[in-house]
């Protein structure tokens, strides 16, 4: 059997076995089947990826079945694997396999483990379908599949109202983006008369500026409007500014879900789609400008909000949103290789940070508020060093002159250099915004580390800890830990941290050349401007101060965080009080939720209640089923009175009837 078929369908088979047969096979077999399926898929994915690096692999299209034959629309279900797909395969299967293993320990006490593991495997299958798509309809199938699976996983603890609300919110917000994606697919078929991705990309360059369509009463450039509609879909899946509100709330799901969906896979689907369709976007410069603007704005927005959050998972969630902004503005300036390189490295260090946060939460009896942490580096040293590796990677620690550093040092610096080298006003603005966001990234990342692993233990104030040890603060006396002593997570949770740490440390250094300096590696799977990418090494194009800007920003953020949370811990509260409205503005996420609630949610509920009370109950029910029932009920009461059983009553009725009949005949 072709290994590509095994990679894609092993998770689906595992999901079916665990999901439908969980009552028959039990918890452990269900976990074994799903975890084995993902490790098998991962084992087949890496040789394909390495093959594209050393040139031994070529593009493969594996047919699965004939799908649609309808008029001029014909397409089959086929799995396309080129370099871009190979990159996504190793990201998806590696992170998913490690998340499955991690979940053995994290979900050990949950009564619905088979359902959870089935959902995880189903999600992975849908994501693999998305990235192996040979046509836009197949991509949309995977696109909607990951949306469904994310809804199931975010709302896994469906008896928890906040989890159910978060799942519905994610589903609804993504439907907004998906509407744009659908319109983009419809328009693309209308223009190109095919949904085949290779055929569309081959025809796209010739369409630049030569075709116009009427959209919403305006005559617009065809490629611009198609790319903007497709990008709206990417904004929803990748939580870009405007359609981002679902991502932080999605942290209500189990932590392994956050690592799988919201760090390395589903949220990167939008970036993958833009890079996959990069020849289309290259034919629409206006659309690329919009991509750059939205990416830079998201990068800044999420970084500012992340500096004020107390929930450890929400800090990392906003960090994800910000890093996705980097990827998008890299694509917007034409550096698709840099965007995919950051997607690749980000998958390792962000999954590491999420799983590390889960290990901390596990140690702290499910407490997620960092104000109740402190001093944990000695209690859970393995988790500490894992999260340290992730933090060093996301903040971009490295030495430029040695060309050595953690993963984020190589990929994020390449994005900033590409934005500067683009020479456009939008690219220049994105560079400065990205540099400032790098400073904020360093600040909130080290803030998380200092609050969690340094300082005095603050556990006694946590209600979760008090409940777990059955002590009140008064009973705890002088014991500053409240009688609770954190413990390291089981090996099933620590092994994934160790593996991901290797990626966070070495992925940037090892794969830098392939992603950024090799047109042969990409082999036409993305629009790769070899001259532009090589110009990043030219100091006449990218001066030294630009190359050092991210490192300088990282050091400033580190020093500010150290001073505020280690040297003088009273500073943050004083600054928050002094900056009052600004702090509240950032803490409340720029009031996007409140704004959307006022503009969309409340009017929708008001309109719904109006139709419910006035139209549905007041008109339809009143004169429809309820009215018919009333007529029957009242009619039966009247008929009941007529049928009295008295002879004189019947005679009277007969007489009245006779008189009425004679009167009708006479007149």
Which residues make Cβ contacts (< 8 Å) with residue 399, sequence separation at least 6? 405
Please name the residue that has the structure tokens 């949309």. Answer: 140
Look at the alpha carbons of 378, 383, 387, 389 in this order and tell me if their dihedral is positive or negative. Answer: positive
pLDDT at 477: 45
pLDDT at 473: 47
The separation between the first and the last C-alpha atoms of the chain, rounded to the nearest angstrom, is: 93
Q: Which helix (H) or strand (E) element contains residue 280?
A: helix 278-282
Listed as ranges, residues in the chain with pLDDT below 50 are 472-478
CA distance 293 to 576: 29
CB distance 390 to 538 below 8 Å: no
**pLDDT, tens digit, for every residue of 240-275?**
988 988 888 888 888 888 888 877 688 899 999 999
What's the longest Cα–Cα distance across the chain?
117
pLDDT at 82: 93
3-state helix, strand, coil in the chain (%, to 5): 75, 5, 20
This model's pTM is above 0.85: yes
Q: What is the DSSP string of 598-644?
A: IIIIHHHHHHHHHIIIIIIIIIIIHHTHHHHHHHHHHHHHHHHHH--
Q: What 3-state DSSP class applies to 596?
A: helix
CB distance 436 to 552 below 8 Å: no
**pLDDT, tens digit, for every residue of 67-112?**
888 888 888 899 999 999 999 999 999 999 999 999 998 888 888 8
* CA–centroid distance for 11 within its chain: 20
CB distance 458 to 371 below 8 Å: yes
| 80 phi and psi angles, rounded to 5 deg | -100, 125
Radius of gyration of the chain (CA): 30
CB distance 230 to 210 below 8 Å: no
């Amino acid at each position: 059997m072709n290994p590509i078929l095994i990679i894609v369908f092993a998770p689906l088979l595992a999901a079916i076995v665990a999901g439908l047969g969980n009552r028959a096979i039990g918890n452990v077999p269900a976990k074994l089947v799903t975890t084995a399926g993902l490790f098998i898929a991962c084992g087949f994915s890496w040789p394909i990826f390495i093959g594209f690096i050393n040139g031994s692999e070529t593009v493969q299209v594996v047919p699965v079945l004939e799908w649609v034959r309808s008029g001029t629309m014909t397409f089959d279900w086929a799995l396309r694997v080129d370099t871009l797909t190979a990159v996504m395969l190793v990201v998806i299967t590696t992170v998913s396999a490690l998340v499955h293993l991690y979940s053995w320990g994290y979900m050990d006490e949950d009564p619905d483990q088979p359902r959870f593991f089935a959902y995880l495997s189903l999600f992975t299958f849908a994501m693999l379908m998305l990235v192996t798509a040979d046509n836009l309809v197949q991509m949309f199938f995977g696109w909607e599949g990951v949306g469904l699976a994310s809804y199931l996983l975010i709302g896994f603890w469906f008896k928890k109202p906040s989890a159910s609300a978060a799942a519905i919110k994610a589903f609804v917000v993504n439907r907004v983006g998906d509407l744009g994606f659908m319109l983009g697919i419809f328009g693309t078929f209308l223009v190109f008369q095919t949904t085949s991705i290779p055929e569309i990309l081959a025809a796209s360059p010739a369409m630049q500026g030569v075709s116009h369509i009427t959209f919403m009463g305006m005559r617009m450039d065809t490629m611009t409007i198609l790319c903007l509609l497709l990008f709206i879909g990417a904004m929803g899946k990748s939580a870009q500014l405007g359609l981002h509100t679902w991502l932080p709330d999605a942290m209500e799901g189990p932590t392994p879900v956050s690592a799988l969906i919201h760090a390395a896979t589903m949220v990167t689907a939008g970036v993958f789609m833009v890079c996959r369709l990069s020849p289309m976007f290259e034919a629409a410069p206006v659309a690329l400008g919009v991509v750059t603007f939205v990416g830079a704005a998201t990068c800044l927005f999420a970084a500012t909000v992340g500096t004020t959050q107390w929930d450890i998972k929400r800090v990392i969630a906003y960090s994800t949103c910000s890093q996705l902004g980097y990827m998008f503005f890299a694509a917007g300036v034409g550096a698709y290789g840099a965007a995919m390189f950051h997607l690749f490295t980000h998958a390792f260090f962000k999954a590491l940070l999420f799983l590390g946060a889960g290990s901390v939460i596990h140690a702290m009896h499910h407490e997620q508020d960092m104000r109740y942490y402190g001093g944990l580096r000695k209690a859970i040293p393995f988790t500490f060093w894992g999260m340290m590796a992730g933090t060093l990677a996301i903040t971009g620690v490295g030495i430029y002159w040695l060309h050595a550093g953690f993963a984020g040092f190589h990929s994020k610096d390449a994005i900033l250099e590409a934005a500067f080298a683009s020479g456009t006003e939008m690219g220049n603005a994105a560079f400065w915004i990205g540099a400032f966001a790098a400073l904020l990234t360093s600040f909130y990342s080290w803030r998380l580390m200092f609050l969690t692993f340094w300082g005095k233990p603050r556990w006694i104030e946590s209600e979760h800890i008090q409940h777990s040890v059955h002590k009140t603060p008064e009973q705890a006396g002088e014991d500053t830990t409240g009688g609770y002593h954190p413990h390291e997570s089981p090996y099933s949770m620590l092994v994934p941290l160790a593996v991901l740490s290797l990626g966070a440390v070495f992925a940037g250094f090892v794969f830098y050349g392939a992603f950024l300096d090799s047109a042969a590696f990409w082999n036409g799977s993305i629009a790769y401007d070899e001259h532009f990418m090589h110009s990043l090494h030219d100091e006449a194009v990218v001066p030294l101060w630009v190359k050092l800007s991210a490192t300088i920003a990282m050091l400033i953020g580190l020093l500010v965080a150290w001073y505020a949370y280690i040297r003088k811990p009273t500073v943050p509260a004083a600054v928050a009080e002094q900056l009052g409205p600004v702090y509240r503005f950032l803490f409340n996420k720029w009031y996007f939720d409140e704004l959307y609630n006022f503009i969309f949610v409340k009017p929708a509920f008001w309109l719904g209640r109006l139709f419910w009370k006035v139209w549905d109950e007041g008109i339809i029910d009143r004169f429809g089923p309820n009215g018919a029932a009333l007529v029957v009920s009242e009619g039966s009461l009247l008929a009941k009175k007529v049928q009295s059983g008295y002879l004189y009553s019947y005679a009277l009725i007969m007489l009245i009837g006779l008189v009425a009949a004679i009167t009708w005949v006479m007149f």
